[in-house]
Amino acid sequence: MAIHPQTIGSLLKEKKELHPSHEAIVYPDRSLRYSYEAFYTHVKETGKGLMALGIQKGDHIAIMAPNVPEWLILQFACASIGAVLVTVNTNFQSQELAYLLKHSDSKMLFIVDGYKETSYVKMLQELLPELQTAQNGELTSVQFPFLKNCVYIGKHVPNGMLGWDSIQIAAKRSDDQAWHKRMNQLMPDDVINMQYTSGTTGYPKGVMLSHTNIVCNAIQIADCMKLTEEDRMCIPVPFFHCFGSVLGVLACISKGATIIPLESFHPERVLQTVEKEKCTVLHGVPTMFIAELDHPNFHQYDLSTLRTGIMAGSNCPPHVMKAVIEKMGLREMTTAYGQTESSPVITQTRTDDSFERRVQTVGRALPHIEVKIVTPGTLNEVKRGEQGELCTRGYHVMKGYYKNEEATNEVIDEDGWLHTGDLAKMDHDGYVTITGRLKDMIIRGGENIYPKEIEDVLYTHPAILDAQVVGIPCETYGEETAAFIRLKTNCTVTIDHLTSYCKKKMARYKIPKYFFITEDYPMTASGKIQKFRLKEQALDLIKE
């Protein structure tokens, strides 16, 4: 099937004309239901309002909010007028937000009151003392010279900010014809989305993605799940990450399906939503599915409508996939692999792939995407079945890192291959198995140890719910291995027992020297486990 690049605005218009009265967006807790016609109208009015406030094609607009309805409207409104949506991690604190605002050259920032224990309003007031005297939301900041407006999503708009309603009021100063003209002038290869890498290592970088990048990727992701307009997708993963915005929202829109978001993840709320809205699709990272399956009220909910979805973000433990298929009814569940720099999906399993392929691999390349495995640090392809670094090339590769040509050239070579930094193997049928991260690899006494190999062994223990392995410095061997273990409910285990268990399963040098029992892991808001923080925790625990 050939690729047909199009803009996000034209995609939404196409689906609105095909399914005007079909449900596009549903928020059960808010009793909010938008048909495709109604959603399109909200997008148009918001786009017109942004134009009236001076937003030009190519301007950057940031949003820091959980999965609220306004997030979705803004995603499509920005795309409809050629503004670049800059997505902000909801867990960012003051220093991180300051870095992103300054680095991204954002002209507007949309926020909610706060998220979890963090007050976004207080954070902004500290970063922008000029807000107290700003008139009608027109801001002048020495620290953030590009930032002209802060927009508050909610009631009781703080001093110096505009309210969401003011965007709708401003829309009256712009006519439909001007909006249509702007939308029709956009090109599929224009940058339309900027996502900052989630920062499991180092400072976040702004990944520039085009309409073509994310629309074509979303269509192919949807095809792998066999999505149609009859599907209803529960999305508990955050919109600020590609998992929510591309694998979720855009994949649904590409087929005219229904989007049913959760504003933030809670395992029982997922179960309630699936039952109430008769969802057929459910996305999540493995830790989310583990929490849902492990919830004490799990068996009270009717999940019989579920059919498919995507498990991604980290390696899928076989016992979790088995439970998801058998206990949640997700018989056509798929796994996907990629990274923000690849829009994001590179490989995905299909609905009819075997159970073994769904847990032992991350599928095969999407159509029109090339994948090769090379010897790390070279361009030399390894033999099938051998381990190397996964590289990919195609329509899905990012336009680059914003204002960072050096970092772009480090990961995209002169032939257009994106070097992912992930270790992988590929079989003769093209199915890929991720074996670890180049930077996660542990070198103990000259022996290469791959954390995933140890994690897979630990997952087979009947008392273990989840396991994460990291390397920590050691004078004698260079590095030693430490394992952080989460136990199943009402299960106990001793360190000596775990060591004995591992001795029967793996070479002695791979056995973790340290085992730590924990209740949770440090994670990014998108569900990625921050192994560098686990290393810090391990070092602190060893000192005690």
CATH number at residue 181: 3.40.50.12780
Point out the least confidently predicted range of 7-16, 23-32, 407-416, 517-526: 517-526
* CATH number, position 470: 3.30.300.30
> Is residue 235 situated within a structural domain?
no
pTM: 0.85
> Is residue 293 situated within a structural domain?
no
Last-in-domain residue among 167, 196, 225: 196
> Is residue 204 situated within a structural domain?
no
**Residue-averaged pLDDT of the chain:** 93
Residue 497: per-residue pLDDT: 95
Residue 1: per-residue pLDDT: 61
Residue 203: per-residue pLDDT: 65
Could you say which DSSP state residue 138 is in? B
- CA atoms of 147 and 107, how far apart (whole Å): 4
Query: How much of the chain is helix, strand and coil, in % rounded to 5?
Result: 35, 25, 40
Residue 451: per-residue pLDDT: 86
- CA atoms of 228 and 231, how far apart (whole Å): 6
The whole domain housing 167 covers 8-19+30-196
> Is residue 186 situated within a structural domain?
yes
Helices (H), 119-185: 120-127, 164-170, 176-185
Last-in-domain residue among 147, 171, 196: 196
> Is residue 86 situated within a structural domain?
yes
Q: How many domains does the chain have?
A: 2
> Is residue 3 situated within a structural domain?
no
H helix and E strand count, the chain: 18, 28
- H/E stretch holding 242 reads helix 242-242
All residues at 6 or more sequence positions from 267 whose CB lies less than 8 Å from its CB, including other chains: 288, 291, 292, 294, 295
- Partners of 110 in beta bridges: 63, 151
Contact 51, 107 (CB under 8 A): no
> Above 80 in pLDDT, residue 544?
no
DSSP 69-97: HHHHHHHHHHHHHTPEEEE--TT--HHHH
Residue 201: per-residue pLDDT: 47
> Above 60 in pLDDT, residue 361?
yes
> Is residue 136 situated within a structural domain?
yes
> Is residue 232 situated within a structural domain?
no
Q: What is the mean pLDDT of residues 390-397?
A: 98
Last-in-domain residue among 133, 163, 196: 196
Residue 444: per-residue pLDDT: 83
Q: How confident is the model at residue 134 (pLDDT cuts 50, 70, 90)?
A: confident
Q: Quick check: helix, strand or coil at residue 426?
A: strand
Q: 219-267: per-residue pLDDT in tens?
A: 999 999 999 999 999 999 999 999 999 999 999 999 999 999 999 999 9
- CA atoms of 125 and 418, how far apart (whole Å): 40
Q: 322-353: per-residue pLDDT in tens?
A: 999 999 999 999 999 999 999 999 999 999 99
Q: What is the mean pLDDT of residues 83-95?
A: 90
- CA atoms of 349 and 183, how far apart (whole Å): 35
Q: How confident is the model at residue 474 (pLDDT cuts 50, 70, 90)?
A: confident
Q: 41-60: per-residue pLDDT in tens?
A: 999 999 999 999 999 999 99
Report the candidate in 154, 183, 191, 52 with the shortest Cα–Cα distance to residue 108.
52
Q: How confident is the model at residue 202 (pLDDT cuts 50, 70, 90)?
A: low
